[in-house]
Amino acid sequence: MTTDNLLFLLARLLMGGLCALAAVLALWRLAAASRAGRREPVLGLMALVLGVGVAEAVQDAWWNVAQAPTDPIGFNAWLWIGFDLAVPLLALRVMQVMAERDAALARLAALSVTDPLTGLANRRGFEAKAHAAIATCRRQGQPVALLAFDLDRFKRINDGWGHAAGDVVLAGAARAMAGQLRAGDVLGRLGGEEFAALLPATTPEEAAGLAERLRLAVRAEVPHPEGGRALTTVSIGVAALGPGEAAESLAAALAASDAALYAAKEKGRDRVEMAPPRLAAP
């Protein structure tokens, strides 16, 4: 076997190996897309073309090296090597672009259900997670409670120290609240200074105890921009979820906890109020 033949064989094996690698990656991405419920027919076509590339590399290596080991390798054969090598490289680049596209779409999907300031679920994300948690508790016969939070006199913070200071308070309150909740609890910022937490497998009495810990955590961990003895405080309403569909019971509990929250505001703020049982039922 001449040196040219050996180099040609190595080049063909490299091209065939790249085609095989790219084909495996294409099939793996196709299977992942199918599990996610997405259709990616281009990946199937790509795997087929790459499979043909593997077969063509083996056939050409056999013909030019094994069948004619002493024949010189012509310029056209080397030219086709370069052209064929571009196929797996292009396929790998296309899959990289597809992966970047999928990551960008995932980030957009996350942003659509996430509050950018606090990192908590926004109203849409909160409701989606809450519905799933409620459905699980319904199947297991567990109670569910809901907390509604509202930072006290938050408008004064924005008006007196600016929205940047208000954002710091909101982010700090979110961290303080999240630090008191369990892994299965659902915490979200519904808008402005309003937050809510769904508590699976929790009775109203247990929720009231947790709400009190949350209230104290906000006082202790969130500095007021005024400084000195000024405190950041929160009023909290507690309600139980009644029977019914997840969306209906959540809406009713939100209304009940809001009513309890405003009762806490009227009684002086910085306190926890329980919703009457009749208000918690849909």
Tell me if 263 sits within 8 A of 245, measured CB to CB: no
Integer Cα distance of 263 and 249 in angstroms: 21
Tell me if 211 sits within 8 A of 236, measured CB to CB: yes
Contacts of 150 (CB under 8 A, 6+ apart): 193, 194, 195, 234, 235, 261, 265
**For 166-249, where are the E strands, in sequence order?**
186-191, 194-200, 234-240
Give the pair of three-digit tokens for residue 246: 């997840």
Helices 204-221 and 163-180: crossing angle, nearest 10°? 140
Instruction: Give yes or no: 193 in active site.
Output: yes
Tell me if 218 sits within 8 A of 157, measured CB to CB: no
Tell me if 237 sits within 8 A of 195, measured CB to CB: no
Integer Cα distance of 190 and 204 in angstroms: 21
Integer Cα distance of 21 and 12 in angstroms: 14
- Active-site residue, selected from the candidate residues 40, 100, 127, 193: 193
248 torsion bin: left (phi>0), alpha (psi -120 to 50), beta (else): alpha
Nearest Cα to Cα of residue 241 among 202, 214, 187: 202
Active site residues: 193
